[in-house]
Amino acid sequence: MSDITLEDIRSMIRGKNKYSLISVDNDSDKHYRTWATLVKKVYPETGDNLYETQRGMSRIRDTLSIMEANDINSIVNTLKKYEVSGSVRPIRGVKTYAYDKSRLDNRMYKRSRSN
* Confidence class for position 8, pLDDT limits 50, 70, 90: confident
Q: Is residue 92 part of a domain?
A: no
Q: Is residue 53 part of a domain?
A: yes
Q: How far apart are the first and last CA of the chain?
A: 42
**Counted domains in the chain:** 1
Q: Is residue 101 part of a domain?
A: no
**56-83: pLDDT as tens digits:** 988 998 999 999 999 999 999 988 887 7
Q: Is residue 93 part of a domain?
A: no
* Confidence class for position 42, pLDDT limits 50, 70, 90: very high
Q: Is residue 67 part of a domain?
A: yes
pLDDT for 23 equals: 74
Task: Domain of residue 47: give its range.
Answer: 6-86
Q: Is residue 35 part of a domain?
A: yes
Average pLDDT, the chain: 79
**86-111: pLDDT as tens digits:** 666 665 666 566 777 888 888 887 77
Q: Is residue 74 part of a domain?
A: yes
CA–CA dist 93, 79 (Å, integer): 30
Q: Is residue 65 part of a domain?
A: yes
Share of the chain above pLDDT 90, in %: 20
